[in-house]
Structure 1
Amino acid sequence: MDDISTGILFSLLILLLVISGYFSGSETGMMALNRYKLRHLANQGHRGAKRVEKLLSRPDRLIGLILIGNNLVNILASAIATILGMRLYGDMGVAIATGALTLVVLVFSEVTPKTLAALYPERVSYTSSVLLQILMKLLYPLVWFVNGITNGFLLLLGLKVDNVHDGKLSSDELRTVVNEAGGLIPRRHQDMLLSILDLENVTVEDLMVPRNEIAGINVNDDWKSIVRQLSHSAHGRIVLYRDNIDEVVGMLRVREAYRLMMDKNDFSKENLLRAADEVYFIPEGTPLNVQLLKFQRNKQRIGLIVDEYGDIQGLITLEDILEEIVGEFTTSISPTLAEEITPQNDGSLLIEGSANIRDLNKSLNWVLPTDGPRTLNGLILEHLEDIPENRVSIRVAGYKMEIMEISDNMIKLVRVLPSRLKKTG
């Protein structure tokens, strides 16, 4: 080193600091990459993305290569800085060189390149991957040796390098990705994607038409009554039963009944029963994502939900599940949530007791409990443990409610006061 001029040593030191910055920036850029965007670009044939993806397939080797290079460069830079310090300042030069080099390395070889790489990881990674790929081939024996020692030490600690996370996202992680997509995905599409993810957490009972609201015809009624019910039906399909809804005999398409009406000779109770389709039963507790696939597989659009004893609990259609994903259809016959809520001038809300709790939470950003009854009427009755005879003011889950109307052992209308509405809004 004594034969090398001070100018050349300064040049070598600057070059080593640049190389150190290259390794530092490359490490941060590689680790800061969006792996899903990288995979997408690699599948599209992007050369830089392919190189980076190959290097990241074994992150232990990549990190080993970068750290070997960075440490070798930094140690060599420290030696040169010490020589320069002693030449310029004598024995005090060692301390001066150490302090000055630490500051320079920190600013120009660590913080600056790493910050730049964190801001522009794609540009840094795709460019640096060219040289890193070459270095990996040249220094592979050394990298393999160092990684062998490191992996052996990790193995003693009970850790296996091969057990690398495969990059698959859980449902909750996928929700976070969708929520943070921002303007990349329209809000409406984000809501639909989140609704699809939520299907596995919702069962058919949460969306079903309750047993007492199922449109059906008792085939044991007199013929004129049956014809009148068919003529005034607002539904596309009607349940046919004998005396009790649990004694279902078929699911009749109303248009098929109209076809029979056109031919008076064929229009009879026997032919009506013969034209009815076989009933499709659904066990209670079936998640919506499972039932959606079952509807598709069995080529069905409507089913009756039964409990463990075979009793009818409700009815659900394919459209009900699709509405859970895309929102309510304008052609829906059943009342919408907007029709069940009437805002008042004082800020309170008049809500029908049949309103679904999940829909209220979703639409109004409330936090009413959903692990029990599914309607507001059921929630209040569970809270009171009795059917009130007069108007009663109560507080349920922090929401102040006033029962306004009771009929047929059911709470028909509830007024929710604005005290809690302001807190949740």
Structure 2
Amino acid sequence: MMSVNPYRLKHLTNENHKGAIRVSELLKRPDRLIGLILIGNNLVNIAAASVTTLIGQRLYGDLGLFIAPIALTLVVLIFSEVTPKTLAALYPERVAFPSSLILKYLLKVCYPFVYMLNKVTNGLLALLGVSPEKHQGNSLSAEELRTVVHEAGALIPEQHQSMLVGVLDLENATVEDIMVPRNEIVGIDINDDWKDIERQLANMQYSRILLYRDSIDDAVGFVHPRELMRLLIKEQLTKASLMRAVSEIYFIPEGTPLNTQLLKFQRTKERIGLVVDEYGDIQGLVTLADILEEVVGEFTTDISDDGNEDIQPQPDGSYLIDGGINLRDLNREMQLELPTDGPKTLNGLILEYLEEIPQGNLSIRLAGYPMEVVDVQDNMIKTVRLLPHLKQN
């Protein structure tokens, strides 16, 4: 009874499995179930001990008083304890479901004895602050559920395991972890010459096009390529018509957990938004696809046939890494354990550690990983050489 998988039991109960329903009802009050089983168990054991002692004394006299307990102990251990309980532990459902039928009726017959026994034992438990009536059953934390998913083995395909863990990890990440940084947002300055705008529109490869005036801080809105096609068909594509086609910008506060933002995207029917800090300044851009990729993996990718363009393996076993790479992506790609609770990029992590901008080549060790700053441009670390095989714990 106690070895039955509680989650499989609940599933079978929902499927109206009669044996599972009976076991579930018995396990709702484990104090009564244990009381019933122990009443029968002890009654049989004590009766067996008394009978064995009488038989031993009649057959062997005083020597039988010594032999009987030893013989009964061996018989009980082998045939009544170890063997049947090991079998039941290995095949709990095969034993529990048919046994529940007997126990259900025995509980009704022996209920007065079980009730009195439980009154006494529950009174003692109450002194210790334990209440069987308020037993909450089995529940799992997020970390425990991750362990269950990983331990599922062949029961859950590896890809599905990754997706399930990805869903659980959404609550541990924020929009800042996956957003396109402000300096990498691609948009069109509506104050540019119209011919330049037309050229940018023709080469734009994004599903939403951001329009702004002079700088990203003065964002106007997003334009969907569908609207551009509509204007082109009508031969009405002008700067004025382009401005009228923009949709209102959806702003996202920084620090919003990904699971929360996913629900907000669903509720507002939005697919893209600009991340702003507490002062209203734009920090980056997040799309619905970015969040979904955290769960199911990348739909489209900037990875070339040779691998991630931001991570270049070298003949000596080291890797040349773009300093602007997201730490979560770097950890996932190379199975690293760099901290992600602070800066979001490798450049930011190194600068936080050094507390200054390095002027030239510099070797450091971060989180046990030896690194070399190879290239610094525009106050940013552009290239880092990483030697993961030389990590020290």
TM class by shorter chain equals over 0.9
CA positional deviation for 1:34: 0.4
Relative to the length of structure 2, the TM-score reads 0.95
Which residues of 2 match residues 17-416 of structure 1 at below 5 A? 30-264=1-235, 266-330=236-300, 332=301, 338-416=308-386
Contact 2:181-2:283 at 8 Å conserved across structures:
yes
Between the aligned partners of 2:40 and 2:186, the Cα distance in structure 1 is 76
CA positional deviation for 1:138: 0.8
Contact 2:302-2:308 at 8 Å conserved across structures:
no
CA positional deviation for 1:216: 1.5
Contact 1:280-1:304 at 8 Å conserved across structures:
yes
Contact 1:236-1:255 at 8 Å conserved across structures:
no
Between the aligned partners of 1:362 and 1:214, the Cα distance in structure 2 is 23
CA distances 1:351-392 after superposition (whole Å, capped 9, x unpaired): 111111112212222111111111111111112222222222
Between the aligned partners of 1:314 and 1:335, the Cα distance in structure 2 is 25
CA positional deviation for 1:59: 0.9
Structure 2: 5+ residue stretches without partners: none
CA distances 1:117-174 after superposition (whole Å, capped 9, x unpaired): 1111111111211211121111111111111111112112222112212323221121
Between the aligned partners of 1:333 and 1:93, the Cα distance in structure 2 is 85
The one-letter amino acid of 1:305's match is: V
The one-letter amino acid of 2:281's match is: D
Residue of structure 2 equivalent to 1:10: none
Structure 1: 5+ residue stretches without partners: 1-29
Residue of structure 1 equivalent to 2:387: 417
Contact 1:400-1:419 at 8 Å conserved across structures:
no
The one-letter amino acid of 1:230's match is: L
Between the aligned partners of 2:137 and 2:43, the Cα distance in structure 1 is 32
CA positional deviation for 1:418: 4.5
CA positional deviation for 1:298: 0.4
Contact 2:173-2:258 at 8 Å conserved across structures:
yes
Contact 1:347-1:417 at 8 Å conserved across structures:
yes
Give the 3-state SS of the residue equivalent to 2:63 in structure 1: helix
Give the 3-state SS of the residue equivalent to 1:339 in structure 2: coil
Give the 3-state SS of the residue equivalent to 2:381 in structure 1: strand
How many residue pairs get aligned? The number is 392
Give the 3-state SS of the residue equivalent to 1:370 in structure 2: coil
CA spacing shift, 1:217–1:413, aligned 2, 3 Å: same
Greater alpha carbon shift after TM alignment, 343-352 vs 189-198: 343-352
The one-letter amino acid of 2:111's match is: Y
CA distances 1:73-118 after superposition (whole Å, capped 9, x unpaired): 1110110011011112212322221222122212221111111111
CA positional deviation for 1:334: 8.4
Relative to the length of structure 1, the TM-score reads 0.88
Contact 2:30-2:132 at 8 Å conserved across structures:
no
